[in-house]
A and B are shown apart, each in its own frame.
Chain A
Amino acid sequence: MTTTPQAVRRASPRTRPPAKKPTKAPAREQAATDPAAALLPQTEPVRLLDPDGTPRPARADYPEPPVEALREMYRRMVVGRRFDTQATALTKQGRLAVYPSSRGQEACQVGAVLAVRDTDWVFPTYRESMALVSRGIDPVEVLTLLRGDWHCGYDPTRVHTAPQCTPLATQCVHAAGLAYGEAHQGRDTVALAFIGDGATSEGDFHEGVNFAAVFKAPVVFFVQNNKYAISVPLSRQTAAPSLAYKGVGYGVPSEQVDGNDPVAVLAVLTRAVAHARAGNGPYLVEAHTYRMEPHTNADDATRYRDGAEVDTWRDRDPVARLETYLRTRGALDDAAVAAIAEQAEAYAADLRERMHTQPEVDPLSLFDHVYATPTPQLVEQRELVRAELAADREDGR
């Protein structure tokens, strides 16, 4: 069994409010006799805060992150949620073609990007807009895809973030290749691949995890199990005890975590990233969370789930949970909460204003990036379009 430094380090008293004995991690203790046991997730999702914000007993395997990190996490979650609400509003105003909300998944969206460095690479799906703005990418560049003026609005090489991926799970193999390529060139980059519960049924998820494992590539596969793939429930995706059990067959250590517990998400991902960066190969994390909104603004979630279910998850809100905990710790007060809310409003106002400017899109740019140098056929077609546009202008169209 490989253990990261975090696995054996004791939680410091400062970050351990109730001074109870650390709980055991039973699966991992069987590792000496059963090699698979070392890879299995714990039978219950790791949880460090109860839904009402009460801290659970400290544990040796997942020490609580420093309170400064949690405060920053709270700030980003509040801004992220406001961004998400604003983006949904922009669809209603016709400024965005469509928006897949990640409301309710703030702990996952923010925790994941907090766990990696700026030089690490992130491989997002279309639902990770909040994670990307939390990473510091310009929200207008993030929303370019959904506004429809181009596909990817940011320069992936500058922000170390792949384009948001729509073909399900295909980014998993890219993450494996990137991570292996970086290591091959002597860099200690980690790749973080986001994926949803439905996409774990796709072949590329399995090929990505397997390639990463075989080549010992430093990848963290982060499954946000939000319970629905558009309308199809998790029970139609898998018969496994949980998605975290998919790692063992590939020789990949795995963990499951309460995805609405910000403290646990950050703790688990921090350990997973350290495991990968230390040269131990990939790690799989499943976060149990819930998509509070429909799949996108174009979806009607009432056709496949009832309000009572949504209400249960409303009671597990990750933002409120962290706020309560930080207030108990004395790390947050009314003034700080108000100041952060004000920041979030300013962020949304700025986004609103910038999104109300209609972007200039040059039809002739359609030919610029198909190849490094356009083929003769594209040069001909460019000329055709140029002539069409000139004729339109003459006709005053």
Chain B
Amino acid sequence: MATTTMAKALNAALADALADDERVLVFGEDVGKLGGVFRITDGLQARFGDKRCFDTPLAEAGIVGFAVGLAMSGLRPVVEMQFDAFAYPAFEQIASHVAKLRNRTRGALGVPMVIRVPYAGGIGGVEHHCDSSEAYYAHTPGLKVVTPATVADAYSLLREAIADPDPVVFLEPKKLYFSSAEAELPAATEPFGRAVVRRPGTDATLIAYGPAVPVALEAAEAAREEGWDLEVVDVRTIVPLDDATIAASVRRTGRCVVVSEAQGFAGVGAEIAARVQERCFHALHAPVLRVSGLDIPYPAPMLEHTHLPGVDRVLDTVARLQWDDRPDARWLPQGSAA
């Protein structure tokens, strides 16, 4: 089995989709000759020609709106937004048209497309290059929202996204682009709507997605020294969400921490925590806790390590899971004794 990176797996998925389906078009800013600022489209224009992989004017609403029209004509557009925060001009197109056209037309006009977004931080990027924007998309009915954390998933989920009859926002964790793993491509991993247990454990469940998955795995490894055996669930597809796998894990372990890199308030981690609480209340030995980024605009590079949830913050939170069956003092009404 060969070692490869997530960036190369994504590139292979695009190349294989272009080769297998002539309706597929790949376009965006700098995706042609340059191969994208992260080289995800490297070599595609040379191999498939500039009618299949091409640069566009620098206008994100235009790119996504153009994709809507192409999808209406029967094609399968795959667009690249250069960075998370640069996708915001396209938000009206995404929220008002991409997400709604199938529903507006009673199913007559679906607009299958993939909007690829390099997202989240951890690479020392300056402002507007490191946003975790998944909640905006996940809060918009009609979109599927997918984020791989492994090399094999990067390939398999992207192929599935391109073949899907519905629009997919495909969030690529930038800091994992050049992470490598042994992977046989083409890979076929679990389909959309399935979360995966990345590490089995018995004492508590860490639920994570995208860039937070490696953090959760590292924390689980470090927790062994503390005597905790932690399970790690990789959500993979935020929409559709696999409530069943997540709840089954938490019922087994009885404790749960949701780990996400995004700012926490009103985020995807909050949604997952609420759903776990609804489904697992009687199996829980402690409140469901969350570890997230801070509720601040993404900080400047020299301060991002303070913002990003790391192993220590995860372990500190795991420590608060009422292991001695005593309530967490910080949640008690003032003046009452623990």
Contact = CB atoms under 8 A, between A and B. Distances in A.
Contacts of B89: 203
A203 B67 CA distance: 17
B277 to A, nearest CB: 16
A101 B71 CA distance: 31
Interface in A371-397: 371-372, 375-377
Contacts of A204: 61-62, 65, 92-93
A156 interface: yes
Interface string B67-90: 111111111010000000000010
- List 6 A-B pairs, minimum CB-CB distance, nearest first: A177-B69, A173-B65, A181-B73, A207-B62, A178-B69, A375-B240
A371 B107 CA distance: 8
B75 A184 contact: yes
B108 interface: yes
A333 interface: no
A152 interface: yes
Interface of B: 25, 51, 56-57, 59, 61-62, 64-75, 77, 89, 92-93, 96-97, 100-110, 141-142, 144, 165-166, 193, 239-241, 243-244
Q: Which of B72, B100, B104, B106 has the most CB of A within 10 A?
A: B72
B104 A151 contact: yes
Contacts of A376: 193, 240-241, 243-244
A162 B108 CA distance: 11
Interface string A116-149: 0000010000000000000000000000000000
A210 B65 contact: no
A170 B96 contact: yes
Contacts of A155: 105, 108-109
A152 B104 CA distance: 6
Given A155-B105, A156-B108, A211-B59, A170 B93 contact: yes
Given A177-B68, A371-B102, A376-B193, 6 more contacts: A180-B66, A181-B72, A203-B59, A208-B65, A210-B57, A376-B244
A167 B193 CA distance: 32
A162 B39 CA distance: 36
Contacts of B104: 151-152, 163
A175 B57 contact: no
Nearest to A212: B66
5 contacts: A155-B109, A180-B66, A181-B72, A181-B74, A375-B241
Contact of A179 (B59, B69, B71): B69
A185 interface: yes
B75 A181 contact: yes
Nearest to A380: B243
B66 A211 contact: yes
Given A211-B56, A375-B240, A151 B103 contact: yes
A23 interface: no
B69 A174 contact: yes
A369 interface: yes
A369 B193 contact: no
A152 B103 CA distance: 9
Contacts of A157: 108-109
B110 A170 contact: no
A214 interface: yes
A381 to B, nearest CB: 11
B62 A371 contact: no
Contacts of A335: none
A19 interface: no
Contacts of A370: 102-103, 141-142
Contacts of A177: 65-73, 77
A357 to B, nearest CB: 19
A376 to B, nearest CB: 6
Contacts of B108: 152, 155-158
B285 to A, nearest CB: 26
B288 to A, nearest CB: 18
Contacts of B57: 207, 210-211, 214
A173 B66 contact: yes
A368 interface: yes
Contacts of B144: 371
Contacts of B67: 177
B74 to A, nearest CB: 7
A152 B71 CA distance: 18
Given A174-B69, A371-B142, A372-B110, A167 B166 contact: no
Interface in A193-222: 203-204, 207-208, 210-211, 214
A173 B93 contact: yes
A185 B74 contact: yes
A179 to B, nearest CB: 7
A182 interface: yes
Q: Which of A150, A179, A184, A191 has the most CB of B within 10 A?
A: A184
Contacts of A158: 108
A211 B62 contact: yes
A75 B250 CA distance: 70
A330 B8 CA distance: 73
Contacts of A175: 69
Given A155-B108, A173-B66, A180-B66, A377 B93 contact: no
A368 B107 contact: yes
Nearest to B104: A151
Contacts of A377: 240-241, 243
Contacts of A163: 101, 104-105, 109
Contact of B72 (A174, A211, A371): A174
A113 interface: no
B75 A185 contact: yes
B240 A203 contact: no
B270 to A, nearest CB: 16
Given A155-B105, A214-B57, A371-B144, A173 B62 contact: yes
